């Protein structure tokens, strides 16, 4: 089994065993879609494309926030309890460690986002009767765009949490998560096709998500073990 897989599986298991994180994620995955579904149904009426666009617009910020929820436990936890020092002594590069932890965070975050999308779609379909599941662009959005953005959010936040101290992370974490959400909202409004779902919107979102993921990997590669040790409380 590769080192990357070992680290990723470890993080997934820890995330799924953390009841407080899971409860928070489940509440957000259910409460937020139900609250948003009424607005989506009222705005879209019975138009399936408009409904799909509304669900896509809600799902991406939810996915980014899920990445933040799980990421906070994966990276900061080991700084607080000091176990990060043991990991840094392992014969593995820091970038590989970051890749495994970011992947381990992104998987449960993505699964919870799919739960949220299913709840939203079921609620909106019940209110409007629109065949939401028949929209292929929504499936593309959930299968490609959402996981890329979740990985980018987890990667950027994780790299920052490794490099910065605890106080700086409290400030930067909120700044990054709201920055991601505002960026998503701005792109959905600015790309041709408007806030609804369209091939142009999905292509731009996928490209920018991939660029952000590459940026996160670049930043993680610049962090040194000495820097991390100096930020341990």
* Coil, helix or strand at residue 198: coil
| 114 Cβ contact list (under 8 Å, min separation 6) | 142
Which DSSP symbol is given to 229?
H
Compute the mean pLDDT over every residue in the chain, rounded to the nearest whole number.
Answer: 77
Per-residue pLDDT at 147 exceeds 90: yes
pLDDT at residue 139 is higher than 80: yes
**Residue carrying the six token digits 């948003």:** 36
Number of independent structural domains in the chain = 1
> Within a 13 Å sphere around the CA of 22, how many CA atoms are in the beta-carbon half?
10
- Work out the angle at residue 29's Cα, subtended by the Cα atoms of residues 110 and 215, and round it to the nearest 5 degrees: 40
Helix H or strand E encompassing 215: helix 199-222
pLDDT tens for each residue of 31-49? 877 777 666 666 656 566 6
Range of the structural domain that residue 75 is part of:
3-230
Q: What is the mean pLDDT of residues 148-157?
A: 89
> Comparing 130 with 202, which gets the higher pLDDT?
202
Cα 46 to Cα 33, 69, 83, 112, 223: the distances in Å are 18, 34, 53, 27, 50
Side-chain-side CA neighbours of residue 131 (13 Å): 3
pLDDT digits (tens, 9 = 90+) for 194-233: 455 778 888 888 998 899 999 988 888 887 777 777 766 6
CB 155, CB 71: distance < 8 Å: no
């Amino acid at each position: 089994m590769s080192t990357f897989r070992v680290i990723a599986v470890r993080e997934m298991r820890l995330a799924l065993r953390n009841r407080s994180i899971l409860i928070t994620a489940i509440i957000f995955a259910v409460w937020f879609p139900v609250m948003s579904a009424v607005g989506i149904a009222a705005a879209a009426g019975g138009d399936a494309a408009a409904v799909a666009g509304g669900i896509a617009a809600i799902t991406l910020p939810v996915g980014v926030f899920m990445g933040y929820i799980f990421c906070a436990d994966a990276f900061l936890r080991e700084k607080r309890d000091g176990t990060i020092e043991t990991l840094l002594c392992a014969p593995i590069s820091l970038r590989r460690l970051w890749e495994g932890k970011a992947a381990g965070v992104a998987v449960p975050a993505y699964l919870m986002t799919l739960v949220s999308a299913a709840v939203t779609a079921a609620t909106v379909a019940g209110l409007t009767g629109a065949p939401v599941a028949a929209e292929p662009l929504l499936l593309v959005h959930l299968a490609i765009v959402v996981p890329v953005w979740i990985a980018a959010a987890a990667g950027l936040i994780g790299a920052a949490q490794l490099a910065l101290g605890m106080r700086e992370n409290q400030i930067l974490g909120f700044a990054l998560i709201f920055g991601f959400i505002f960026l998503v909202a701005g792109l959905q409004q600015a790309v041709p096709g408007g806030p609804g779902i369209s091939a142009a919107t999905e292509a731009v979102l996928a490209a920018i998500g991939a660029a952000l993921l590459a940026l996160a990997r670049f930043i993680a590669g610049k962090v040194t073990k000495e820097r991390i040790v100096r930020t341990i409380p």
